[in-house]
Amino acid sequence: MKKILILLAVVTAFTACKSGSKKKGTDEKSAKTEISLSAAGSTFAGPFYKTAFKKYFDLTGVQTSYGLTGSGAGIRSLKDRVVDFCGSDAFLSDTEAAQMPAPVVHVATCSGAVDIAFNVPGIDSIKLDQEVLADIFLGKITNWNDAKLKAINPGVKFPDLAISVVHRSDGSGTTFIFSDYMSKISKEWKDQIGVGKSLNWPVGMGAKGNPGVAGIISSTVGSIGYIGSDYAFAQKISFALLKNAAGNYIAPTIAAVSAAGKGDMPADTRIMETNSTAPDAYPISGFTWIILYKEQAYNGRSLEQAQATVKLIDWMLDPAAQGIAKELKYAPLPDKVVQIDKAILRTVTYNGKPILK
Amino acid sequence: MNNSDKITKYFLFAGSFLILIVAGGMVYSLVGGAIPAFHKFGWHFITSTNWNPTEGRESYGAMPFIAGTMITSVLALLISIPMAFSTSLFVSEYFRKTPVASVLSTLVDLLAGIPSIVYGLWGFYTLRPVIMHLGLSPQGFGVFTSGIILAIMIIPYATSLSNEIIVMVPNELKEAAYSLGATRMEVIFNVIVPNARSGIVASYILAFGRALGETMAVTMLIGNANKVPHSLFDTGNTMASVIANQFGEADGLKLSSLIAIGLLLFVITALVNTAGKFIIKKLS
């Protein structure tokens, strides 16, 4: 008995020692490293942010980790103050903003298209009008050889194949943009389902994040879903041309997204640009935002941390960063939006004093 | 009592007391978190099949997930019982104490060590295409696919305990039966199974409990559709996987509803275990 107790004591002492020394080691290490930022949110803007933050690290040595959690979880993390800022493709409504512990600001970083991506063997391109799109996602059109689909796609040979709708299972800004558009084009959608980051889907199956939806579409014959342009491009998934408000069938190109974003921009950048009336605009386009607290002195954050946060976001508006967005199939911000963004960033303070001059 | 005995006693007492406190704390925080959901929806929360997280139209009901969890777990148990039972007999009766039996039982135990995510990946890339190819379901996700994966995952839990129980059936009984001219089959079903009944049932209940709470592999395969599945090949969702999917962004009423689902899962698992204990008592 005694032996066991002694053994136990030795083991405990040993592990205590070991974990103690280990902790000390990491503390020393973190003291040495430069300022690092953490952020989470939108998977839609994920490819842009990941690439841009890496570039920024090469330029300045400031490391930014970005978690692809989905916009909903990103906003939640910002609310819990566990990240420096979050990425979201859905702006906070007035009620949501009021629920945050402190005032926040939205900085638009780029705009992008939500592609209607599909996987039907032998078919590279289809056209969808508002009615057919709504019917597919409402579960009323269930087979690819439906007469309505054939009518707007003369010459395309549709197989007898069940349609599998894929949507997001997590709270998503991509879903928000998509449902915002659907509510504008279909009264039935508006009444039955509405707009939101997560929805009560009448049909289909859910997958986590843009990468999850893209993965299921590329591996499932007969599937259709909505994903950010870069995901469709990177995984070589076919996308549909959509009939816009002016009646033209438009592909989700950078030019078509830019055309949708030419309208007026409010001073807080909170605007949806779906269903644009411009003749060459892609209808499911949307801005994506970085959201951060207006007052950066919270949770014992240092002035350096706050400065690094704002400087990074300021750099995201730079032509260099906007060029990265363009390479990744996002539409860069128009100049007037950059000016509005910069004005917003100048209102961000540390202990009441503006951080940027 | 000498000193070391005393120390051991207090040590053990403190240890078990700590576990009680942790368990009590979990129940306390689950109930506390679930109160807003039950306050808002009442018992309707359990029976409602409507899960609507849309801002401004929020309404939460747990039935789709309760149904999904129960259907996948029962299906998994039904699929795994024949495999687990024959494995147990193979290892503990037919090839008892032979190298081939020890290899097989080691392999089965190894199944328990495979991480859930690996089962999920295997299901996604191997099992799902097979289901699609067979034409059972157009997209390969759903209750049936999840049930098969769960069945494989719980086999080690179902076999390991029943192996030990079957080995423990007294040899005298078996020999007596053989000497009366019983065939091997008759010995198995008239001597071994009745003797080992409570242990076998207990191990299946243990396995069922495992299936109820399994998360990752099921999330990857069930299709995450928040509705009661219409058929075995339809998509659905389970209690554990809806929590895993939506916990990150949830707050307010939705968070409370997810915690309430966690509480229900806790209660269901506790009921299953109690029922198991009761059955064992009755049978033995």
User: How confident is the model over A97-110, as pLDDT tens digits?
Assistant: 999 999 999 999 99
pLDDT at A19 (0 to 100): 42
Percent of chain B with pLDDT over 90: 76
B positions 128-157 inside 8 Å of A (CB): 128, 132, 138-141
**Phi and psi at residue A86, in whole multiples of 5°?**
-130, 160
- pLDDT over 90 at A227, yes or no: yes
- pLDDT over 80 at A188, yes or no: yes
- pLDDT over 60 at A33, yes or no: no
The overall average pLDDT reported for chain B is 92
* Distance in Å, alpha carbon of B33 to nearest chain A alpha carbon: 17
Dihedral (Cα; B126, B130, B136, B139), 10-degree rounding: 50
pLDDT at A17 (0 to 100): 42
Q: What one-character-per-residue DSSP string does A70-125 give?
A: -HHHHHHHHHTT-SSEEEESSPPPHHHHHHSSS-EEEEEEEEEEEEEEEE-TT---
A115: closest CA among A311, A6, A253?
Answer: A253
CB contact under 8 A, B56 and A220: no
User: Alpha-carbon distance A218 to A173, whole Å?
Assistant: 21
A205: chain B residues, CB-CB within 8 Å:
139, 141, 223-225, 235
In this prediction, residue B70 has a pLDDT band, given cuts at 50, 70 and 90, of: very high
A237: closest CA among A120, A155, A70?
Answer: A120
User: Alpha-carbon distance B119 to A258, whole Å?
Assistant: 44
Burial of B231 (0-12, 13-18, 19+ CB in 10 A): exposed
Of A2, A199, A205, the CB nearest to B4: A2
- The average pLDDT across B234-255 equals 91
Q: Enumerate the domain spans of chain B.
A: 64-250
- pLDDT over 60 at A8, yes or no: no
- pLDDT over 50 at B7, yes or no: yes
In this prediction, residue B75 has a pLDDT band, given cuts at 50, 70 and 90, of: very high
pLDDT at B164 (0 to 100): 87
* Distance in Å, alpha carbon of B54 to nearest chain A alpha carbon: 5
Instruction: Look up the CATH superfamily of A36-111+286-354.
Output: Periplasmic binding protein-like II (3.40.190.10)
Percent of chain A with pLDDT over 90: 86
Of A79, A162, A193, the CB nearest to B54: A193
pLDDT at A24 (0 to 100): 39
In this prediction, residue A18 has a pLDDT band, given cuts at 50, 70 and 90, of: very low
Q: Does the CB of B231 have a partner CB in chain A at under 8 Å?
A: no
- The average pLDDT across A63-72 equals 93
CB contact under 8 A, B5 and A1: yes
8 A C-beta contact, residue A132 and residue A141: yes
* Distance in Å, alpha carbon of B34 to nearest chain A alpha carbon: 19
- Among left, alpha and beta (phi > 0; psi -120 to 50; other), residue B2 is beta
- pLDDT over 50 at A31, yes or no: no
Q: Does the CB of A168 have a partner CB in chain B at under 8 Å?
A: no
**Chain B residue closest in CA terms to A92:** B55
B251: chain A residues, CB-CB within 8 Å:
76, 79
Q: Are strands A104-119 and A63-68 parallel, antiparallel or unpaired?
A: unpaired
Angle between helices B252-283 and B193-213 (to 10 degrees): 180
Structure tokens at A280: 């060459």
pLDDT at A23 (0 to 100): 40
pLDDT tens-digit series, residues A244-260: 999 999 999 999 999 99
CB contact under 8 A, B138 and A164: yes
* Distance in Å, alpha carbon of A96 to nearest chain B alpha carbon: 10
8 A C-beta contact, residue A177 and residue A196: no
Q: Does the CB of A173 have a partner CB in chain B at under 8 Å?
A: no
CB contact under 8 A, A223 and B223: no
In this prediction, residue B39 has a pLDDT band, given cuts at 50, 70 and 90, of: very high
- pLDDT over 90 at B247, yes or no: no
User: Alpha-carbon distance A124 to A71, whole Å?
Assistant: 30
A127 contacts: CB under 8 Å, gap ≥ 6? A152, A153, A240, A241, A242, A243, A249
Which residues is A357 bridged to in the sheet? none
pLDDT tens-digit series, residues A304-354: 999 999 999 999 999 999 999 999 999 999 999 999 999 999 999 999 999
User: Alpha-carbon distance B3 to B155, whole Å?
Assistant: 45
* Distance in Å, alpha carbon of B279 to nearest chain A alpha carbon: 38
- The average pLDDT across A180-207 equals 94
* Distance in Å, alpha carbon of B268 to nearest chain A alpha carbon: 25
pLDDT at A173 (0 to 100): 93
3-state secondary structure of B259: helix
**Chain B residue closest in CA terms to A143:** B138
How many residues can be counted in chain A?
Answer: 357
Please tell me which residue, B121 or A27, carries the higher pLDDT value. Answer: B121
Could you say which of 3.90.550.10, 3.10.580.10, 1.10.3720.10, 3.40.50.720 is the CATH number of the domain covering B64-250? 1.10.3720.10
In this prediction, residue B1 has a pLDDT band, given cuts at 50, 70 and 90, of: low
- The average pLDDT across A35-45 equals 94
- The average pLDDT across B148-157 equals 95
- pLDDT over 90 at B283, yes or no: no
Burial of B8 (0-12, 13-18, 19+ CB in 10 A): middle
In this prediction, residue A29 has a pLDDT band, given cuts at 50, 70 and 90, of: very low
- pLDDT over 90 at A201, yes or no: yes
* Distance in Å, alpha carbon of A137 to nearest chain B alpha carbon: 14
pLDDT tens-digit series, residues B96-110: 889 999 999 999 999
A12: chain B residues, CB-CB within 8 Å:
none
pLDDT at A26 (0 to 100): 41
- The average pLDDT across B74-78 equals 96
pLDDT at A4 (0 to 100): 52
CB contact under 8 A, B7 and A5: yes
In this prediction, residue B284 has a pLDDT band, given cuts at 50, 70 and 90, of: low
- The average pLDDT across B172-198 equals 91
CB contact under 8 A, A170 and B57: no
Based on DSSP, count helices (H) and strands (E) in chain B, helices before strands.
13, 0
Q: Which of A113-117, A220-224, B94-98 has the lowest mean pLDDT?
A: B94-98
- pLDDT over 50 at A28, yes or no: no
Q: Does the CB of A205 have a partner CB in chain B at under 8 Å?
A: yes
CATH architecture of A113-285: 3-Layer(aba) Sandwich (3.40)
CB contact under 8 A, A161 and B138: yes
Q: Does the CB of A100 have a partner CB in chain B at under 8 Å?
A: no
Q: Enumerate the domain spans of chain A.
A: 36-111+286-354, 113-285
Of A5, A193, A207, the CB nearest to B4: A5
ipTM for the predicted complex comes to 0.84
A324: closest CA among A109, A42, A63?
Answer: A109
CB contact under 8 A, A205 and B235: yes
- pLDDT over 60 at A10, yes or no: no
pLDDT at A1 (0 to 100): 45
Angle between helices B63-89 and B143-167 (to 10 degrees): 40
